[in-house]
């Protein structure tokens, strides 16, 4: 029975409501686990009082360094690879303060299993606690903790002192969850026991993201009712390749002027992207929305004709799944988990990373073939219903929990 299972989730920054953007993919999962009857206790890295939100128990870490933390460091020091100690002492204190709190929660609430999201820091916190609590440890890998892209300094494993920690976490964990073949392949290089790596694709709420959503009000608000709309939404940082989408715009506009590019999200590179738009002379065809709240994302997909994800690396690419669930074809790069979702010519197109011309060519092809926009959009929706409904992911996670607990 699922209602007999009690799970400690280590997730450093996950929000407390469906509206919170940070680690929203983790919230979607734990919320549904709680709805299925599991008792979910989330331990976050912030100092806060215990509370219950949406049926989930939240716990923070202590607000001061107390003597037990130094005892914890002495007990755990043997779990640290030697090179990993070449870091700020604050990191050592933080990790052991956090692991001490995990152990307190596990004992206090008679927890059955610990599930950490990201190999570091959460997975390592779980590893530090594991020796004493003797509970199964599940680690979900999400991307930055396992994949690397040296050209844009993406991936914590580019630093040797963290690479050795992540290798240790994967080899001590009882089970590892990955969403895509790309992450599985990378984890397999680091983990000696490959059978404990489980591919469980990410999922979306197919009721919340669906083709019947009306995007016309948003089109009217943005004054783009009669335009072909290309949409993207990513954090404005180097790994996500937004500059390559922007560089494709002049190529598109040479042949078609009735195209608007809506660029969602925010981040440190946004001023650079805005300057690039001015430099290329395409300001009148670009809308920067800033950060889009979770509740409005379905409407942005609905008002678009095509969604483009120009990333240089992606463990999965949840924007791809959400867009397809809303019935939109997606142009995505041939990287990471994107290739697990887009079947070239069926529900979208795959293009090489860093290739503005390839992006422009596919956008123009969709503009010139409006029936294909609809056909591929329908295929995209069917593909998500069959493979990426979040109910399927929750079922598989519960099965894994039960297997580990015998």
CA-based nearest residue to 112, from 143, 86, 135, 94: 135
Does residue 185 fall inside a structural domain? yes
pLDDT tens profile 393-406: 999 999 999 999 98
Does the structure show a pLDDT above 70 at 334?
yes
In this prediction, residue 2 has a pLDDT band, given cuts at 50, 70 and 90, of low
- Cβ-based neighbours of 296, under 8 Å, separated by 6 or more: none
Query: Which pLDDT does position 64 carry in this prediction?
Result: 78
- CA–CA distance, 160 with 89 (Å, rounded to integer): 17
**CA–CA gap between residue 229 and residue 364 (Å, rounded):** 12
Contact present, 21 and 14 (Cβ < 8 Å): no
368-380 pLDDT per residue, tens:
999 999 999 999 9
Asked if 197 and 259 sit in the same domain, the reply is no
The reply to whether 76 falls in a domain is yes
Q: What pLDDT shows up at residue 66?
A: 79
pLDDT of 109: 97
With tokens 């609809």, the residue in question is 374
Cβ atoms 11, 46 nearer than 8 A: no
Is residue 230 located within the same domain as residue 352? yes
Domain region containing 183:
2-203+389-404
Residues 311 and 371 in one domain: yes
Residue-averaged pLDDT of the chain = 96
Q: What tokens were used for 229?
A: 């709309």
pLDDT range class, residue 360, cuts 50, 70, 90: very high
Tell me the CA distances in angstroms from 54 to 14, 18, 32, 33, one per residue in order. Answer: 13, 9, 10, 11
Residues 239 and 306 placed together within one structural domain of the fold: yes
Q: Same domain, yes or no, for 107 and 223?
A: no
Same domain, residue pair 184 and 132:
yes
What is the per-residue pLDDT for 3? Answer: 56
**CA proximity to 183, closest of 76, 336, 35, 51:** 336
Residue at 211 is within a domain? no
pLDDT tens sequence across 195-217: 999 999 999 999 999 999 999 99
Shared domain check, 395 and 373: no
Q: Is the pLDDT of residue 67 over 90?
A: no
Residue 167 included in any domain: yes
Residue 26 lies inside a defined structural domain of this protein: yes
Q: What percent of the chain has pLDDT over 70?
A: 99
Question: Distance between CA atoms of 292 and 117, rounded to whole angstroms?
Answer: 24
Are residues 233 and 376 both part of a single domain?
Answer: yes
351 and 398: one domain? no
Q: What is the dihedral of CA 272, 359, 154, 150, to 10 degrees?
A: -110
Report the CATH number that the domain containing residue 379 is assigned in CATH. 3.40.50.2000
Whether residue 4 has pLDDT greater than 90 = no
With contact defined as beta carbons under 8 Å apart, do 52 and 16 qualify? Answer: no
Cβ 267 vs Cβ 290: under 8 Å = no
pLDDT over 80 (residue 338): yes
Does residue 210 belong to any structural domain of this protein?
A: no
The structure's pTM equals: 0.96
Strand partners, 137: 114
CA separation (Å) from 288 to 8, 119, 155, 259?
39, 33, 27, 15
Output the CA angle 89-8-116, nearest 5 degrees.
Answer: 55
Do 144 and 278 have their domain in common? no
Based on the fold, state whether residues 198 and 111 are members of the same structural domain.
yes
Q: Is residue 209 part of a domain?
A: no
**Backbone dihedral angles phi then psi of residue 260, each to the nearest 5 degrees:** -120, 135
Confidence of residue 1 (pLDDT cuts 50, 70, 90): very low
Q: Looking at the structure, tell me whether residues 19 and 168 fall in a common domain.
A: yes
pLDDT average, residue stretch 173-187? 98
Q: Is residue 228 part of a domain?
A: yes
Average the pLDDT over each of 64-68, 140-144, 274-278, 370-374 and give the range with the smallest value. Answer: 64-68
Domain tally, the chain: 2
Q: Who's near 320: CB < 8 A, 6+ residues apart?
A: 307, 309, 330, 332, 338, 341, 342
């Amino acid at each position: 029975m699922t209602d007999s299972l009690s799970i400690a989730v280590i997730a450093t920054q996950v929000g407390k409501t469906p509206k919170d953007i940070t680690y929203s993919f983790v919230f979607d999962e734990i919320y549904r686990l709680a709805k299925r009857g599991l008792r979910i206790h989330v331990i976050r890295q912030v100092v806060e009082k215990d509370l219950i939100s949406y049926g989930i128990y939240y716990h923070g870490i202590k607000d001061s360094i107390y003597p037990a933390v130094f005892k914890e460091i002495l007990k755990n020091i043997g779990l640290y690879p030697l090179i990993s100690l070449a870091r700020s002492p604050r990191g050592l204190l933080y990790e052991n303060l956090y692991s001490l709190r995990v152990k307190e929660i596990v004992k206090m609430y008679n927890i059955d299993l610990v599930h950490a999201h990201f190999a570091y820091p959460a997975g390592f916190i779980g590893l530090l606690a594991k020796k004493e609590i003797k509970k199964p440890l599940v680690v979900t890998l999400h991307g930055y903790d396992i994949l690397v892209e040296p050209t844009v300094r993406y991936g914590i494993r580019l630093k040797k002192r963290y690479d050795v920690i992540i290798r240790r976490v994967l080899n001590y964990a009882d089970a590892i969850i990955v969403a895509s073949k790309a992450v599985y392949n990378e984890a397999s290089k680091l983990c000696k026991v490959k059978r404990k790596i489980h591919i469980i694709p990410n999922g979306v709420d197919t009721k919340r993201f669906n083709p019947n959503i009306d995007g016309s009000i948003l089109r009217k608000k943005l004054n783009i009712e009669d335009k072909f709309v290309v949409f993207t939404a990513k954090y404005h940082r180097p790994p996500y390749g937004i500059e390559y989408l922007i560089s494709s715009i002049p190529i598109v506009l040479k042949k078609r002027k009735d195209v608007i590019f809506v660029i969602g999200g925010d981040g440190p590179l946004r001023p650079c992207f805005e300057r690039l738009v001015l430099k290329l002379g395409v300001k009148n065809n670009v809308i920067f929305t800033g950060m889009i709240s979770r509740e409005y994302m379905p409407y942005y997909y609905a008002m678009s004709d095509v969604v483009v994800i120009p990333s240089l690396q992606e463990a999965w690419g949840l924007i791809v799944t959400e867009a397809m669930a809303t019935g939109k074809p997606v142009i995505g790069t041939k990287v990471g988990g994107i290739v697990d979702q887009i079947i070239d010519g069926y529900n979208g197109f795959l293009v090489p990373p860093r290739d503005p011309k390839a992006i422009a060519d596919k956008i123009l092809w969709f503009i010139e073939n409006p029936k294909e926009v609809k056909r591929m959009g329908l295929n995209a929706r069917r593909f998500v219903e069959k493979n990426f409904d979040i109910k399927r992911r929750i079922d598989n996670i519960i099965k894994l929990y039960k297997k580990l607990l015998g």
